[in-house]
Structure 1
Amino acid sequence: MRWTGWLREADGSGDVSKSRTAESRALVKKGSINIAVNSATKTPYMPRLQMTPYGPLWVAVFLMFCARAEAQDGPQYDPVNGNAAIHVIIPNVNPVFFEEVTEHGGDPSILIRYTTLIVNSWFDAAAPYHPTAEAVFSDQSKVAPYDSKDNTALNVAITAASKVILDQCFPTHAATWAAMLDLVVGEQAGNAAVQEAIAIGTEAGEEVWYGRLNDGMNHEGTKGNRESMPLPFADYTGYEPVNTAFKVNDPSHWQPAIERMGTGKYRSQLFVTPQYGQVFPYTDLWSLDLPLPTPEKSNIENRDDYEAQAKEVLNKSADLTEMQKILSEFFENKLYSLPVSAVVASLKKGNNLMEFIHMYFAQEVAIFDAGIWVWAKKKEFDAVRPFTAIAHLYGDRPIKAWGGPGKGTVRMPASNWTSYLPVGDHPEYPSGSACLCRAHSSVMQDFMGTNELGWDVQFEAGSSFVEPGITPAENMALRFETWDDFADVCGSTGLWSGVHFEASVTNIKAPCTTIGLAAAAYVRGLISGN
């Protein structure tokens, strides 16, 4: 990764676009999307990333990247040349995720659930149009094969499939999902191939929905005799924390944090979806060689090691830089960092729509199965978070660390210390973010055929959600040169931001790489019909 400040013009505007020569830019038409690219490297110029995740702003930022066609008489879409996944589905779904599921793009277990259902429906809807591919859940007859010169049928099929999943997951937004399909179908509703595509997509979506409905995630919330009063995604495994938010009974184990919910309102965490570790995976996950040592340093009986790793967290907190803050927030947002990296790589390679769907499903399988493994291990080890260990070791003794938004490094009672990022509502070991990024990067290297990424990401001054209006102090940009670089930095952000200990990040590299490669092999097997 290369970190650079934006070039500043003599007028102090900081407009990086002015510093690019005309020779280094070209406007490339890809379907209905205009993407500014570097003519030498074929790298798409990304929009300035606003870290604030709320609906309208997020849509504006994402559509700058994905774009949408607009005509004088109202919204239109070019299904022949476009990619409905990028241009229509994702921009319509993400605002609902931020409204209904997540504040900053975290909360991975439930987000992964939703995104995997959607992307699996794309893959199954595309299978009838591929000469050899087998769907995961549906078994539909082959139809006229996909022709990359006309994406219409495939775009309609994946949008119809998405609508089925989204109607089930977010029924109060049914009008949005209907409008989404209408936009892609356009004026071709009477076309026989379009009608066939709607039927194929609808069946694929239904088969994926019902195929995954009872996979162990308790999506509808009926497990535990809750048929009459369901609690979607509620735990049914009987997990109970050793510690409470107010009392540490065993400092080796996870303690629920107290979260601020608004002015004067607080709540105690619950372990979110501990049953995720029991969900049925896509790959032969539990037959893979996935070694993970016990987190011995998090055992209070190994007091010297226990204290040493706590001090390491405090040292990183005291030395926290602007770059580390912004990168931590970037990787916290799982709706941007992971999926957009895949889109960028696909655009650079020039994938057609079928190739994009196959690649995108492969990285989704990697993330889904990596999440299952991580959650199973989190529940197994039930390891302490840094905030608990630090308060237990030092009580009200003064420490030096990041002092809160806009405060910089200060001296404070250890019991007041908190991490830069919000602490996850699940045990510490192993790191979910580090594993998801590693599995994602591994499968992307396989499908892209290279470790090269070359993704430039730009950040607006003051766009931090932790320190809004303050961080970064000026517009900044960074570049991820390789997929390994991307995964390494992702893991490091958990250490910089104070939510993880070192072992939680370093010990996942081998197993999560294996999961990513297994996902690639699994999807390639489906594509080949094996």
Structure 2
Amino acid sequence: MTRPDRLRIAWIASIVVVFGVAPGARRATAAASDNVVLQWNQRMLQAVGNTRFAPMLTARALAITHTCMYDAWAAYDTVADGVYWTRDMRQPAAEHTQAARAEAISAAAHLALVDLFPSQASLFDMLLSSLEHSTPGIPGMIGKEACQAVLDSRRQDGSNQSEDLYPGSYSDYTGYMPVNTVDANLDPNRWQPLMTPSGAQQFLAPHWGRVQSFALTSFDELRPEPPPLYPHGTYIKEANQILHASARLGDRSKMIAEYWSDGPASVTPPGHWNLFAQAVSRRDGHTLDEDVKMFFALGNAVLDASIAVWDCKRLYDYARPVTAIRFLYGGQPVRAWGGPRLGTRIIDGEQFRSYIPTPPFAEYVSGHSAFSAASAEVLAAFTGSDLLGLSVTFPPGSSMIEPGLTPAAPVTLTWRTFSAAADEAGMSRRMGGIHFESGDLAARVLGRQVGSLVWKASRQYFDGTARAW
């Protein structure tokens, strides 16, 4: 494990409840009393980091795993409907015990996760064994049946996990080719791959807008207006905003950008909001039944957000700030961050670089902004309040990009509300130099719309009005 990976884990472990529903500040980290939903969510996020799963793949995996758990749990509820039930699976009321629910949930989660992360099977086997659910009884068989129905439905959902559309799991099957190359910017409005230490970037999952959603019926009503195109003045203005932010980078803005970066070997942006949900569960003392519902809605919110975002990324194929700034100011002196430990200086515009790594896909719209807005919408709706009340403190020198130097003094980030956290997540992408203002703000609106639709659909399953048996 690299030093940046260890630092990410340390940062996450330092999240604390600083105010909120529960009396007294306390750590929001894993506890011995965590219910099986939380334990399986934690184990899945560990697998995400181990396998360096991409954000959109993580979103889908969260949705599938928590839908499997939800559909298994619903068989032991008097009202709720399963999403993918192929028959009425509701068990007799006398069997609706917490022990039966826990066993059904564990069997479903294990089956889903082994399917999604086959290389991590031992990780899931260990948890199943520790929960004493390795030998399934009737609840375990019900859980497996419920999960298998979900997996069967998702075999041909457009993700290409099963290589049903093109060789290579999750590989593109749409024939996408970038207009620009690493060496030639033929259109300053379009995405340009960058050269990295591991080679030229490849657009990650350009097919993702075609994946089957949970609650979206049409993109026409959700899809934002096109981004500003060169030579429009807004294109130049937003590029200048990134330059100015780069030149003004201080310890606080650097740590905000780093905290929310959620790059490779992290839990990714969708997983980040699951960590917040774990903290909320512990803060509010959630029951098993409450967490089944909350994580189900949250998982499907980040899935649908990923689909709506990648629909935009593929449709608009928009340039990243680094491309726009190098195009506008190549061969001219600009004032910007000069690189790790170099501070702000005058550089050639062609040498501009973002503070956090620029991801390998188009800019418009921001995935993190949409994931965060959708998650904030669902979590506020579920808890009945926008209150979050979490904080994290970075010790001096704990930066992943400028270790030993940044920050010079402790930096504390505090999020009183889900909305404040979501807004900071969006802003962090501008501070990091990888998103324009329009890409951030449009994604926030899109994410809120997606979250609202997912919450509405989720409630219909919760109250048994989604389908009749």
TM-score where L is the length of structure 2: 0.88
| Aligned residue among 104, 108, 111 for 1:157 | 104
> Which residue identity lines up with residue 209 of structure 1 in the other structure?
L
Determine which structure has more spread, i.e. the larger CA radius of gyration: 1
Tell me if the contact between 2:257 and 2:428 (Cα under 8 Å) persists in the aligned partners.
Answer: yes
- Tell me the residue number matched to 2:7: none
> Which residue identity lines up with residue 437 of structure 1 in the other structure?
S
- Tell me the residue number matched to 2:377: 442
| Aligned residue among 80, 83, 90 for 2:35 | 83
Q: Give 1:436 shift.
A: 0.9
Q: Give 1:43 shift.
A: 5.9
CA distance 1:213–1:95, shift in 2 (3 Å): same
| Aligned residue among 370, 375, 379 for 2:314 | 379
| Aligned residue among 176, 180, 185 for 2:127 | 180
- Tell me the residue number matched to 2:90: 142
Runs of 4+ that moved beyond 6 A: 35-40
- Tell me the residue number matched to 1:389: 324
Q: Give 1:36 shift.
A: 8.4
Gaps of 5+ in 1: 1-16, 18-34, 48-64, 69-80, 225-229, 262-266
- Tell me the residue number matched to 2:51: 100
- Tell me the residue number matched to 1:127: 74
Tell me if the contact between 2:17 and 2:390 (Cα under 8 Å) persists in the aligned partners.
Answer: no
- Tell me the residue number matched to 2:26: 45
* CA distance, structure 2, for counterparts of residue 336 and residue 325 of structure 1: 21
SS at match of 2:334: strand
Tell me if the contact between 2:223 and 2:312 (Cα under 8 Å) persists in the aligned partners.
Answer: no
- 1:259 aligned onto 2:192: no
* CA distance, structure 2, for counterparts of residue 347 and residue 285 of structure 1: 34
* CA distance, structure 1, for counterparts of residue 254 and residue 243 of structure 2: 15
Q: Give 1:37 shift.
A: 8.1
* CA distance, structure 2, for counterparts of residue 146 and residue 249 of structure 1: 68
| Aligned residue among 228, 237, 245 for 1:316 | 245
Q: Give 1:458 shift.
A: 2.8
- Tell me the residue number matched to 2:143: 201
SS at match of 1:384: coil
- 1:281 aligned onto 2:222: no
Deviations 1:338-365 (A, max 9, x none): 1122122233333211111101111111
> Which residue identity lines up with residue 188 of structure 2 in the other structure?
P
Q: Give 1:128 shift.
A: 0.5
> Which residue identity lines up with residue 205 of structure 1 in the other structure?
C
Identity among equivalent pairs (%): 29
* CA distance, structure 1, for counterparts of residue 225 and residue 27 of structure 2: 39
> Which residue identity lines up with residue 142 of structure 1 in the other structure?
R
Q: Give 1:398 shift.
A: 1.9
* CA distance, structure 1, for counterparts of residue 438 and residue 24 of structure 2: 35
SS at match of 1:454: strand
* CA distance, structure 2, for counterparts of residue 272 and residue 504 of structure 1: 18
* CA distance, structure 2, for counterparts of residue 349 and residue 478 of structure 1: 21
Deviations 1:455-489 (A, max 9, x none): 12233433332223333334432221112111111
> Which residue identity lines up with residue 239 of structure 1 in the other structure?
Y
Q: Give 1:92 shift.
A: 2.8
Larger mean Cα displacement after TM superposition, 401-410 or 166-175: 166-175
Q: Give 1:280 shift.
A: 1.2
Tell me if the contact between 1:44 and 1:344 (Cα under 8 Å) persists in the aligned partners.
Answer: no
Deviations 1:142-200 (A, max 9, x none): 2255999x7433222222112112222222332222221111126x95xxxx6122112
| Aligned residue among 248, 265, 269 for 2:201 | 269
> Which residue identity lines up with residue 216 of structure 1 in the other structure?
G
Question: How many pairs are equivalent?
Answer: 444
CA distance 1:153–1:326, shift in 2 (3 Å): farther
TM-score where L is the length of structure 1: 0.78
* CA distance, structure 1, for counterparts of residue 241 and residue 301 of structure 2: 31
- 1:361 aligned onto 2:342: no
CA distance 1:146–1:137, shift in 2 (3 Å): farther
* CA distance, structure 2, for counterparts of residue 133 and residue 380 of structure 1: 38
- Tell me the residue number matched to 1:495: 430
Gaps of 5+ in 2: 1-13, 263-268
Deviations 1:361-381 (A, max 9, x none): 111111111111110011111
Tell me if the contact between 1:378 and 1:429 (Cα under 8 Å) persists in the aligned partners.
Answer: yes
Tell me if the contact between 1:281 and 1:368 (Cα under 8 Å) persists in the aligned partners.
Answer: yes
